[in-house]
């Protein structure tokens, strides 16, 4: 049983993934008002109890690495590393933008995944199919919407933390070539984090729990 933990931003999530059956056994997504420390453990204990499980039933851990809030990332990563080291479990870290992009890969358009950042900035990652596999094109960026849209010269799907005003700016720039997914379709679900982690663990590709570190882009950081 894999446990996925995402506390990268105010939208936090937990998921239990049954790797033997290949499905998400339990999942919770909530908006945390800077209370990750207070909220995380009670929600985890409740999720395990609802499935008749305890920490001894876990076989691996997956955690969101950011970019994101300094405090939020530290809380989630500390819990994941603590469980992994104490129980000798494999641990995998996944970039937050990979989680945002994951549910939209079945369609063919290139993807821009976005998380809101402080001081009028965003964190963005561009994903496209290359030789039959989805890959991130280039490094993740800390940028502004104006700067990002100047780079976009092809039809694309936009997902993540995008409000109505920003969606309008995207459509004005790209017209019918822009596909902006709805808020419900773009939530950063811990179930997708769990699936991404299992794909790596199935290949024997675990991280070092002692040295695994969060991803911080140059300031300003994403708000918690």
Q: Report the pLDDT value the prediction gives residue 35, as an integer from 0 to 100.
A: 83
Q: Report the pLDDT value the prediction gives residue 219, as an integer from 0 to 100.
A: 60
Kindly indicate the confidence band of residue 33, based on its pLDDT and cuts at 50, 70 and 90.
confident
Asked, for residue 155, whether it belongs to a domain, the answer is yes
Count of structural domains, the chain: 2
Asked, for residue 216, whether it belongs to a domain, the answer is no
Task: Report, as an integer, the average pLDDT of 87-91.
Answer: 99
Name residue, tokens 């049954």: 18
pLDDT higher than 90, residue 221? no
Q: Report the pLDDT value the prediction gives residue 165, as an integer from 0 to 100.
A: 95
From first CA to last CA, the distance across the chain in angstroms is 28
Q: Report the pLDDT value the prediction gives residue 83, as an integer from 0 to 100.
A: 98
Domain ranges, residue 17: 2-95+189-202
Task: Report, as an integer, the average pLDDT of 64-69.
Answer: 95
For the stretch 93-152, pLDDT in tens is 999 999 999 999 998 899 999 999 888 899 999 999 988 889 999 999 999 999 999 999
Q: What is the CA radius of gyration of the chain?
A: 17
For the stretch 148-167, pLDDT in tens is 999 999 999 999 999 999 99
- E strand or H helix that includes residue 135: strand 133-136
Name residue, tokens 């794909």: 199
Do 15 and 67 lie in one domain? The reply is yes
Do 118 and 196 lie in one domain? The reply is no
Enter the pTM of the model: 0.94
d(CA 192, CA 140): 19
CATH of the domain at 17: 3.30.420.40
d(CA 70, CA 137): 25
pLDDT higher than 70, residue 188? yes
């Amino acid at each position: 049983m894999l446990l996925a933990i995402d506390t990268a931003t105010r939208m936090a999530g937990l998921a239990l993934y049954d790797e033997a059956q290949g499905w998400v056994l339990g999942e919770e997504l909530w908006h945390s008002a800077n209370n990750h420390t207070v909220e995380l453990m009670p929600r985890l204990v409740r999720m395990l109890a609802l499935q008749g499980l305890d920490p001894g039933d876990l076989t691996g851990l997956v955690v969101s690495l950011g970019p994101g809030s300094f405090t939020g990332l530290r809380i989630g990563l500390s819990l994941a590393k603590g469980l992994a080291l104490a129980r000798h479990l494999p641990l995998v870290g996944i970039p937050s933008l990979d989680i945002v992009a994951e549910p939209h890969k079945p369609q063919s358009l290139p993807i821009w995944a976005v998380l809101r950042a402080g001081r009028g900035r965003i964190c963005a990652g561009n994903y496209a199919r290359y030789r039959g596999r989805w890959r991130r094109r280039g490094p993740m960026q800390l940028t502004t919407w104006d700067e990002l849209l100047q780079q976009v010269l092809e039809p694309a799907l936009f997902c993540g933390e995008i409000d109505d005003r920003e969606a309008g700016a995207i459509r004005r720039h790209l017209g019918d070539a822009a596909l902006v997914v709805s808020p419900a379709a773009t939530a950063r679900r811990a179930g997708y984090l769990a699936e991404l982690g299992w794909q790596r663990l199935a290949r024997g590709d675990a991280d070092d729990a002692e040295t695994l570190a969060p991803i911080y882009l140059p300031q300003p950081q994403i708000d918690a």
